[in-house]
Chain A
Amino acid sequence: MNNFSRAGMIAMAAATFFATPVLADGSKLDEVLARGHLVLGTGSTNAPWHFKSADDKLQGFDVDMGRIVAKALFGDPDKIEYVNQSSDARIPNITTDKVDLTCQFMTVTGERAQQIAFTIPYYREGVGLMLKADGKYADYDALKAAGSSVTISVLQNVYAEAMVHAALPEANVDQYESVDMIYQALESGRSDAAATDQSSLAWYMTQNQGRYKDAGYGWNPQTYACGVKRGDQDWLNFVNTALHEAMTGVEFDFYANSYKTWFGKELTPPQIGFPVEYK
């Protein structure tokens, strides 16, 4: 990680030095409008956030957030040039101007906020538990009551054990190398529940209707937001406005449709009258 941030830092220092005349002309907003399309940084290997359909088209919730911004810019959600980037490249690609905007399930942290500017959040991620629909345990309370007789399958990680024990202090933890294996463990009965990001679980349950259920408990909250380069308040305001109106205003249907597609849940429209933001 340090290498990347160092590279980013060097790049940023150099870019400021060389690019000053360009910045003086105005905001990224004018630059993007003049160019006629948005350059969006995102990945291609994580469903339901950013992944390829069978006919090789990029899709997912992150991609839709970029499409909301493109629609606000040009009235056309398809005016996007995608920069395919790994998770490690998210911050360097913003600081070196390879992208206008990055939406790639980026967790907001204080450390990152020192390097890039975060937009308003568009999703709150948390860890959840998935059970077999016809399994022995009904929900989270049943799992917790069963104590050390339950086994949880989880992705291999330094914090995996502590993460599961925060919700189920006595459960056995089986760690697996990839997401498909934690699902496989649940399916074959080697584990009683699979613990991973709720969005991944929601996507998997949408793909396999009726076979699994959510245990109804979430923990380990993390905020997902898009990122832009620091120091351009105009551009940040514009992206914020576009995302905000998608969650509360004219583009609500766009956001709600996307939410339904990728997470399988209907959203209730924001209450009419007194703005929801001040409640």
Chain B
Amino acid sequence: MTELSTFLEQVWLARVVILKGLGVTVSISLLAIVAGSILGVFVGLSLVYGNKLLRFVVRAYTDFIRGTPVLVLVLASYYVLSTIGIELGPFQAGVLALAIFCSSHVGEIVRGGLQAIPQGQTEAAKAIGLTFVQTFAYVLWPQALRQFLPAWVNTAAEMVKASTLLSVIGVAELLLRTQEIISRNFMSLQFYFFAGLLYFVINYSIERFGKYVERKTAVPS
């Protein structure tokens, strides 16, 4: 019982630091997911509808990024970019690396969602006189959206977890903040468990949000 009260006392003592770390983790993940998803939709569209050259370039981009460990992307955007005169702070470099990583995954998800729709539907849309834009907006996109939502939620949760890697370049996100607290009070098990709980809360919220959007977009039956 005394152990629990010492732990709670330490949590209370570190509350501001924990909240700051949580704030940084949430904002990095949010920025990376939003930017990565927007970019990813363009990547997906290029993969499906682009001409040969565009498809080739974007395919090379997604394969290269997806085949690279996130840690390497993080280090590259922090160190390599500065050698060509682009000076990014740790936070900016981290968001950039995660957004790029996110975009390659979202791109593949979008491509898969669109290509899973039978060719017959595009033909049918053409037959009733819809333009390409109309076909896309009213026939293909709403169906693809339902296809890729679960996978997208998965990717978003991956981004939150990948944000822990940014501690390597000195971004004071939740994990680094937790390590700072542990180095002061030596309560590693308790505080790592607590951090794990907070990560779970973030990811659970994302999952609930995804479920909500899925319900909203579901075909009424």
Contact = CB atoms under 8 A, between A and B. Distances in A.
Interface of A: 3-4, 7-8, 10-11, 14-15, 18, 44-47, 51-54, 56, 83-86, 88-89, 92, 96-98, 178-181, 183
A45 B16 contact: no
B184 A52 contact: yes
Contacts of A54: 13-14, 184
A54 B188 CA distance: 16
> Size band of the B side of the interface?
20 to 34
B11 to A, nearest CB: 12
Ranked nearest first, the 8 interchain pairs of A and B with the lowest CB-CB distance are A14-B83, A180-B186, A84-B170, A45-B179, A45-B183, A178-B188, A52-B180, A51-B183
A16 B206 CA distance: 45
Interface in B89-128: 90
16 contacts: A7-B80, A11-B79, A11-B82, A15-B83, A45-B176, A45-B183, A47-B184, A52-B17, A52-B184, A56-B20, A83-B170, A84-B170, A85-B169, A179-B188, A180-B188, A181-B188
B183 A96 contact: no
A114 B17 CA distance: 38
B84 interface: yes
Contacts of A53: 184
B75 interface: yes
B172 interface: yes
Contact of A86 (B76, B82, B170): B170
B187 A180 contact: yes
B8 interface: no
Contacts of B76: 7
Contacts of A52: 17, 180-181, 183-184
B176 A44 contact: yes
Given A14-B84, A86-B170, A96-B83, A7 B75 contact: yes
Interface in B174-220: 176, 179-184, 186-189
B167 interface: yes
B72 interface: yes
A51 B184 contact: yes
B85 interface: yes
Nearest to A54: B13
A124 to B, nearest CB: 22
A51 B180 contact: yes
A18 B84 CA distance: 8
Contact of A45 (B75, B168, B180): B180
A149 B170 CA distance: 44
| Residue of A10, A11, A98, A179 most packed against chain B (CB within 10 A) | A98
Nearest to A41: B170
Contacts of B182: 45, 178, 180
Contacts of A14: 83-84
Contacts of B188: 178-181
Contacts of A11: 79-80, 82-83
B16 A92 contact: no
A243 B13 CA distance: 35
B192 to A, nearest CB: 9
B17 A86 contact: no
A10 B90 CA distance: 19
Contacts of A181: 188
Given A44-B180, A51-B183, A86 B168 contact: yes
Given A54-B13, A180-B186, 7 more contacts: A46-B183, A52-B180, A56-B17, A85-B170, A86-B170, A89-B169, A180-B187
